[in-house]
């Protein structure tokens, strides 16, 4: 199944993707994780995008589209994928439609206040990208990922000023995709307020898996 996870930062897309990959046996492709890995590796791409990520702004469409196009062409993404954090603009959605036919777009519905609460406590594994929360779901051992033993840290863009910027960018550039995909009959709205396990149950039922 070819899925897009759409929703504001902190809606739980990454967390649900971590659960859904086991159910669907398809890769979880997070453009945010790919950009962060490039920043950590100090690659040419990483040097180009670091300041943009730290400020909570969007990487340009051309760079992002080329990266996703290349990733989706790989063997493991042929039968299906979960795209998390892409597309984020209408031009990205149009480009995606030209090289891959998506089956469903899962829209994570959540109010801003819940987003701020989640992002300000979010902890992420630097190695596998798994998400924890300082209060509601801390790693068993502080600073260490339960799943792969990688380092668990707070993203620079989960600091308050960047959170506000990312929400503004979401409202202006990404939220229009809700109507874009609804008009194409692909949208599946999910109430993203409950805890991850419950959202996982709702997701499973809605997709019949
Ligand atoms: P995320 O982990 O999805 O919140 O993404 C983290 C950051 O990576 C974003 O704030 C952007 O700077 C960048 N990014 C991720 N996905 C995209 C995208 N589809 N288009 C442009 N920038 C992106």
Domain assignment present for residue 6? The answer is yes
Q: Is residue 23 over pLDDT 90? A: no
DSSP 73-111: TSGGGSS-EEEES---SHHHHHHHHHH---SEEEEEE--
**Measured on CA atoms in the order 171, 172, 174, 179, is the torsion positive or negative?**
positive
E strand spans, 122-206? 122-125, 131-133, 152-153, 187-191
Q: Ligand 1, closest atom to CA 49?
A: 12
Tell me, in angstroms, the distance from the centre of ligand 1 to residue 116's CA: 17
pLDDT: which is higher, 161 or 179: 179
Q: Please name the helix (run of DSSP H) or strand (run of DSSP E) that holds residue 129, with its range, or none.
A: none
Domain assignment present for residue 17? The answer is yes
Which token pair is 70?
């290349």
pLDDT tier at 150, thresholds 50, 70, 90: very high
Tell me, in angstroms, the distance from the centre of ligand 1 to residue 9's CA: 9
Share the mean pLDDT of the chain: 94
Q: Whose CA is nearest to atom 12 of ligand 1?
A: 53
Proportion of the chain above pLDDT 90, given as a percent: 78
Separation between Cα atoms, residue 189 and residue 7, nearest integer Å: 10
E strand spans, the chain? 2-6, 28-30, 81-84, 104-109, 122-125, 131-133, 152-153, 187-191
Tell me, in angstroms, the distance from the centre of ligand 1 to residue 53's CA: 7
Give the pLDDT score at 76.
96
Q: Whose CA is nearest to atom 8 of ligand 1?
A: 32
Q: Whose CA is nearest to atom 10 of ligand 1?
A: 56
Tell me, in angstroms, the distance from the centre of ligand 1 to residue 63's CA: 12
| Boundaries of domain holding 83 | 2-26+79-120+159-207
12-37 average pLDDT score:
92
Q: Is residue 189 over pLDDT 90? A: yes
Describe the crossing of helices 61-72 and 31-41 by its angle, rounded to 10 degrees.
100
For residue 8, the domain's CATH number is 3.40.50.300
Give the pLDDT score at 61.
98
Quote the pTM value: 0.89
Q: Ligand 1 pocket by C-beta < 6 Å: which residues?
A: 9, 31-32, 35, 52-53, 56-59, 64, 85-88, 92, 157, 166
**Which residues are the active-site residues?**
13, 88, 122, 155, 166
Separation between Cα atoms, residue 18 and residue 24, nearest integer Å: 11
Give the pLDDT score at 131.
87
8-22 as b/e: b if 16+ CB within 10 A = bbbbbbbbbbbbbee
pLDDT tens across 85-96, in order? 999 999 999 999
Q: Ligand 1, closest atom to CA 166?
A: 10
pLDDT tens across 99-142, in order? 999 999 999 999 989 999 889 999 999 998 888 999 988 999 99
Please give the tally of structural domains in the chain: 1
Q: Is residue 19 over pLDDT 90? A: no
Q: Is residue 160 over pLDDT 90? A: no
Domain assignment present for residue 108? The answer is yes
Q: Is residue 46 over pLDDT 90? A: yes
């Amino acid at each position: 199944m070819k899925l897009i996870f759409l929703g504001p930062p902190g809606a739980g897309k990454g967390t649900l993707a971590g659960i859904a990959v086991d159910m669907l046996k398809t890769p979880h492709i997070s453009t945010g994780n790919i950009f962060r890995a490039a920043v950590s590796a100090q690659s040419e791409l990483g040097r180009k995008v670091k300041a943009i990520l730290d400020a909570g702004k969007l990487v340009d469409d051309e760079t992002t589209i080329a990266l996703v196009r290349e990733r989706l062409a790989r063997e493991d993404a042929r039968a299906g994928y979960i795209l998390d954090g892409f597309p984020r603009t209408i031009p990205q959605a149009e480009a995606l439609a030209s090289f891959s036919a998506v089956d469903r777009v899962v829209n994570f519905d959540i109010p801003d206040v819940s987003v701020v609460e989640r992002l300000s406590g979010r902890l992420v594994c630097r190695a596998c990208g798994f998400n924890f929360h300082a209060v509601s779901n801390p790693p068993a051992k502080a600073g260490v990922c339960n799943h792969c033993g990688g380092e668990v840290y707070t993203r620079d863009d989960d600091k308050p000023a960047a959170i506000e910027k990312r929400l503004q960018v979401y409202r202006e550039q990404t939220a229009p995709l809700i109507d874009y995909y609804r008009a194409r009959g692909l949208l599946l709205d999910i109430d993203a307020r409950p805890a991850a396990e419950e959202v996982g149950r709702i997701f499973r039922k809605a997709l019949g898996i």
